[in-house]
Every structure is written in C-alpha cells, then in structure tokens.
Amino acid sequence: MSRILVVGGSGFIGRKICQLAVADGHEIRSVSRGGRPDADGTWVDSVEWGEADIFDPNSWRDALDGCDAVIHTVGIISITPGKGVIRERLDGDSAIITALEADRTDIPAFVLLSVTGSLAREEHLAAKRRAERTIAELKLRTTVLRLGPVYGEDDSIGHYPGVMNAALRAIDDHNWLARRFGGARPLSVTTVAHEALQAALDPTTAKHAHAPLRRQSIMKRNTT
C-alpha cells in the first residue's frame, strides 16, 4: 500500500484517481479549493479530504508527510476573455509550487497531468509547458502525461457538455477513427486515472519521462 497525495482530488480527473486508488488499497489524501466533493460511493469516506489554497503551501504542506507520490491534476479546460492571468496561475504556477514542495519534502515521485499540443488552447498549452520546463530542473522522479480531451463515462459528469462528451466517447470506441487523432486521441477519465496511478507507483519510470497516452497502451507508457 502506498500513500498518495492528489492535488485537485475533488475535480473531475482527480476524483476518479482517488476512487481507483482507494479500490486498490492505497491511502489517499486530497488537497483542493473545494475540499470534500459531493460524490456518491463508499470510497469517498476513505479519502482524507483537505480544503486549502494551493498558492499558500502553509495551508496544505502537512499533507505531504509520509507520501510516496504526488499527482497534480489542477487545470482549466476552457478560458474566457480576460482570464489569462488566472490560467497562468492554475495551469502553470500551481504545478510548479506543488512540485517545489514535493521536491523539498523528498517525495519519491511526481506526476503532472499536462496536454498535447494539437487541440489545446494556446494559453493552456503555454502554461503547462512552462510548468514542465521548470519541474524538469528538480530532482524528482517526474512523469508528465500529455492528454488529449478526456471524457466521462457518464455524460452528465466531465469537462464537456453532454453531447460533446458523448461524441468524444464514440470516437474513442472506434479505433480506426481514434487513431487519426494520434496523441490527441480522446480518452476516458478511467483510462487517464489508471495511467496516472501507474506512473506514480512505478519505480522504473524514467526521470522526467514525457508520456502521451493512447488507449491501446493503458498499461504501458511510451516514453520519449
């Protein structure tokens, strides 16, 4: 059993990571602005939920104690005019701050959920790449998972409206079509959560590996 801190654990992807990790018998902590989510399932009571401001490490640093890995899931999928500074902080600065704290505490592994370049908005991509470059200078064993669009198995839950969520799921279900998207292939939130957990727990992961996710390689990361 491992102890894992999920930053943004109350969000769409973070919640699924927490759920699967609990099912696998791991001890899970979450820090997020929302704290404990309004979610169903017995797994929710097994997570140590913390409400904190990620930009104030003093409010959540204790959650790192004894952890074997940290998974950072915070980010903005869409952006409205005038929100560039918010995007830089949430997509970029929050990851850097988390990694610095993990590095200072000698956490063995750090996983950053990032994005591919083909479908991401320019601001989102720039902030994530800035975080990747900064984190690469640390001594942490780091895996960066560059994601295309992530859909939910339930159309009412996810990053996208129901119709778009269903369309992404349909693309992923037809391998001949999904292959055309390359590294930007739509992926289910369960696929992404499984891969994030494997990256966090696999001691053979190369330092600063960058892994684009593909459905046909759920249990194996392609490192470059």
Q: For position 105, what pLDDT does the model report?
A: 95
Residue bearing tokens 């017995």:
42
Specify the CATH number for the domain of residue 44.
Answer: 3.40.50.720
Q: Looking at the 3D structure of the chain, how many domains does it have? A: 1
| Residue 224 domain flag | no
Q: How many CB atoms lie within 10 A of CB 131?
A: 25
| Residue 222 domain flag | no
> Mean pLDDT score of the chain, rounded to an integer?
85
Q: For position 215, what pLDDT does the model report?
A: 39
| Mean pLDDT on 154-182 | 83
| Residue 130 domain flag | yes
Residue 224 pLDDT > 60, yes or no?
Answer: no
**Are the C-beta atoms of 111 and 142 separated by less than 8 Å?**
yes
Q: For position 91, what pLDDT does the model report?
A: 84
Q: Which residue has the higher pLDDT, 8 or 154?
A: 8
- Please give the angle made by the CA atoms of 112, 113 and 114, to the nearest 5 degrees: 105
| Residue 152 domain flag | yes
Q: For position 222, what pLDDT does the model report?
A: 36
| Residue 61 domain flag | yes
| Residue 72 domain flag | yes
Residue 145: closest CA among 199, 102, 108, 187: 199
CA dihedral 21→23→25→30, nearest 10 degrees, is 40
Percent over 70 (pLDDT), the chain: 84
| Residue 104 domain flag | yes
pLDDT tens string 15-66 = 999 999 999 999 999 999 999 988 888 999 999 999 999 999 999 999 999 9
| Residue 223 domain flag | no
Q: For position 86, what pLDDT does the model report?
A: 66
Q: For position 160, what pLDDT does the model report?
A: 74
Residue 81 CB-density burial (10 A; 0-12 exposed, 13-18 middle, 19+ buried)? exposed
| Mean pLDDT on 81-95 | 72
- Please give the angle made by the CA atoms of 133, 57 and 25, to the nearest 5 degrees: 85
Crossing angle of helices 189-201 and 12-23, in 10° steps, is: 60
**Poorest-pLDDT segment among 75-79, 193-197, 209-213:** 75-79
Classify 106 in phi/psi space as left (phi over 0), alpha (psi -120 to 50) or beta: left
- Structural domain for 11, as ranges: 3-217
